[in-house]
Amino acid sequence: MMIYPVMHYTMVGLWGDYELMINIPGLYAIGEINFSDHGANRLRASALMQGLADGYFVLPYTIGNYLANELHTKPLSTDEDSFVQTEKAVKDRINKLMNIKGKRSVDYFHKKLGQLVWEYIKMARNEKGLKRAITEIAALRIEFWSNANTPGTLNGFNPEVQKANNLADSFELAELKAHDALERNESCGGHFREESQTEEVEALRKDDAYSFVSCWKYTGYNQKPELIKENLIFEEVELIQRNYK
């Protein structure tokens, strides 16, 4: 298995109980998005272990507890407004992807986006690179929606549709990561701002200014997301500067 430093799978981890269910009943967080055994700092080997452990040994024994309470639940109606609206939105988006009929493959845009993320939103970032990433990602997204080509049809198995649909979401995620990194002008954990380092090239944290969780609210297509801060209060742990030497 080839392992090299990347963004630790974007440093995420959803909360879950001991049965792996999150705070939405019936929705489970398993594998790479599970916060438990290795926290948010996961590399490829630990992510693989988490997926195997959750899938083979945990979930088969825990999901039954939820399903047992659903035995008497009648099938949900698909006539509900929320279902109808969601189904229509998905169909409209897929049809839009299929009807662009551009000259560039989805793989082309995938590689271009990946290069931007790798170059400017890696673990070591700086203000100039992050601002450039935001601008270029927005331009690439516009080009994607006007010049992408999704071959095949919707009448059979077509992995290209899934690839295009996933990539469309990746533009928003990449841009959000750049906004978040630009907003947090400090170095902490897997986020290293080159403008914020000690003389020994160690991460320079600014706990007095950034002791909060950054939650971002979607504000619309091609619009800057809204930052919502959730303050972190440490009662039992003393915040100290990390030194890898």
- Direct distance between the N- and C-terminal alpha carbons of the chain, in angstroms, rounded to an integer: 28
For residue range 160-182, list pLDDT tens digits in order. Answer: 999 999 999 999 999 999 999 99
| pTM of the complete model beyond 0.85 | no
What CATH number labels 81-231? 1.20.58.100
pLDDT at 40: 47
Q: 37: which 2 tokens? A: 């055994």
**Distance from C-alpha of 41 to C-alpha of 39, rounded to nearest angstrom:** 6
Q: 98: which 2 tokens? A: 């299929």
Q: 17: which 2 tokens? A: 């109980």
The share of the chain scoring above pLDDT 90, in percent, equals 58
Q: Which residues pair with 229 in a beta bridge?
A: 214
**Distance from C-alpha of 57 to C-alpha of 100, rounded to nearest angstrom:** 44
What is the domain partition of the chain in residue ranges?
A: 8-68, 81-231
**Tokens 């825990």 belong to which residue?**
62
Instruction: Give every CB contact of residue 229 below 8 A, 6+ residues apart in sequence.
Output: 212, 213, 214, 215
pLDDT at 30: 85
For residue range 43-102, list pLDDT tens digits in order. Answer: 556 677 778 888 899 999 999 999 998 888 888 889 989 999 999 999 999 999 999 999
pLDDT at 39: 47
Go through 124-156 and write b for each residue having 16 or more CB atoms within 10 A of its CB, e for each that does not: ebbeebbeebbebbeebbeebbeebbbeeeeee
For residue range 100-130, list pLDDT tens digits in order. Answer: 999 999 999 999 999 999 999 988 999 999 9
